[in-house]
Amino acid sequence: MPSLKPLKKAVLPVAGLGTRFLPATKALAKEMLPVVDKPLIQYAVEEARAAGIEQFCFITGRGKTAIVEHFDVAYELEKTLSERGKEKELAQLRAEAMEPGSIVTVRQQVPMGLGHAIWCARHFIQDDPFAILLPDDLMLCDVSCTKQLADAYRETGGNVVAIEEVPRERVNRYGVLDVEKDMGRLVSVKGLVEKPPVEKAPSNLTIIGRYVLMPEVIGHLSKMERGAGGEVQLTDSMAKLIGAQPFHGVRYEGRRFDCGDKAGFLEAQIAFALKREDMAGAVRDFLARYR
Ligand code: UTP
């Protein structure tokens, strides 16, 4: 295999309207909703950094400025924490600080779909491979899910997407794989279809919100063809890469919480709190009261 370009870039689309979370998302970006004490967007950025990502592009829209503020240096806050001797909190803020210039934002003026959001990042992507993280898919993994994809990319080259099996009757909510060869952790792909009717779905292996894609996908996206739901679907353009480039699904190790959905979001709170030494005991105690 010719030497691969290193994976250093990630695109994080955050321009969606978050209608399933109204009224919470009327003035607040969905990606700023906290799970325990950290906003969803920060989990995604930390996961990407753990995979060696150094350059970030947020695809934003109206009402999303808090996301950009969140990654800025908060001088007044740091000064106040310092004056009050809150060294632990100060150290945490500083440890999480982003390298200057590592985040760019691009505005998607109209949310025309995930594919359109990714196309908006074309000048950032240029000729490089890039990861995509949808922050409302929150991952609880021992090894960063994006790192699992980056490792697979180094193994196979080309495009890799994180996949999971879902019950047949739910495949119509996802991008679905048409499997060429199932090798266990890795699956080679011969086709993709977005939100197929249950009876027409080629498998029950579905794509979750983690991808490593080659820049050639932008050429397909630029045709702006509308797919399922009248949106410019990323899946449709990814499907056009198959045959021209390797395309694999990766059965990631870990758990996914759909935090764009109210029940998934609540479950994530519990799962993440139970992982925290400072909270697990209290959470177990109060959960016992709801049996
Ligand atoms: P969703 O399908 O969850 O849509 O988008 P949404 O608008 O965020 O939420 P609901 O369904 O109305 O409740 C999946 C991801 O794609 C981004 C979203 O921000 C989210 O990360 N997205 C979607 C965009 O950035 N632009 C779009 O045009 C559509």
Answer whether 14 contacts ligand 1 (Cβ < 6 A).
yes
| Atom 29 in ligand 1: residue holding the nearest Cα | 113
**Ligand 1 centroid – CA 130 distance (Å):** 19
160 within 8 A of 248, measured Cβ to Cβ: yes
Answer whether 115 contacts ligand 1 (Cβ < 6 A).
no
- Rounded CA-CA distance 56/110 in Å is 21
pLDDT of residue 45: 97
Atom of ligand 1 nearest to the CA of 135: 21
Answer whether 17 contacts ligand 1 (Cβ < 6 A).
yes
183 within 8 A of 168, measured Cβ to Cβ: no
pLDDT of residue 56: 98
Answer whether 260 contacts ligand 1 (Cβ < 6 A).
yes
pTM of the model: 0.95
| Atom 18 in ligand 1: residue holding the nearest Cα | 16
Using most ligand atoms within 8 A of CB, pick from 134, 138, 207, 233 the residue to mutate for ligand 1.
134
pLDDT of residue 94: 87
Using most ligand atoms within 8 A of CB, pick from 136, 207, 224 the residue to mutate for ligand 1.
136
pLDDT of residue 168: 94
- Rounded CA-CA distance 132/120 in Å is 13
pLDDT of residue 264: 96
Burial class (CB within 10 angstroms; exposed 0-12, middle 13-18, buried 19+) of 274: middle
3-state secondary structure the chain: CCCCCCCCEEEEECCCCCHHHCCCCCCCCHHHCEECCEEHHHHHHHHHHCCCCCEEEEEECCCCHHHHHHCCCCHHHHHHHHHCCCHHHHHHHHHCCCCCCCEEEEECCCCCCHHHHHHCCHHHHCCCCEEEECCCEEEECCCCHHHHHHHHHHHHCCEEEEEEECCHHHHHHCEEEEEEEECCCEEEEEEEEECCCHHHCCCCEEEEEEEEECCCHHHHHCCCCCCHHHCCCHHHHHHCCECCECEEEEECCCEEEECCCHHHHHHHHHHHHHCCCCCHHHHHHHHHCCC
**Ligand 1 centroid – CA 16 distance (Å):** 4
* Nearest CA-CA partner of 144 in 53, 51, 213: 51
| Atom 3 in ligand 1: residue holding the nearest Cα | 260
**Ligand 1 centroid – CA 155 distance (Å):** 30
Atom of ligand 1 nearest to the CA of 112: 28
| Atom 7 in ligand 1: residue holding the nearest Cα | 16
Q: Go through the domains of the chain in sequence order and give each one's CATH number.
A: 9-286 (3.90.550.10)
- In a structure prediction context, what are the per-residue pLDDT tens digits for the chain, which is 291 residues long? 668 999 999 999 999 888 999 999 888 999 999 999 999 999 999 999 999 999 999 999 988 889 999 998 888 999 999 999 999 999 988 888 899 999 999 999 998 999 999 999 999 999 999 999 999 999 999 999 999 999 999 999 999 999 999 999 999 999 999 999 999 999 999 999 999 999 999 999 999 999 999 999 999 999 999 988 899 999 999 999 999 999 999 999 999 999 999 999 999 999 999 999 999 999 999 999 987
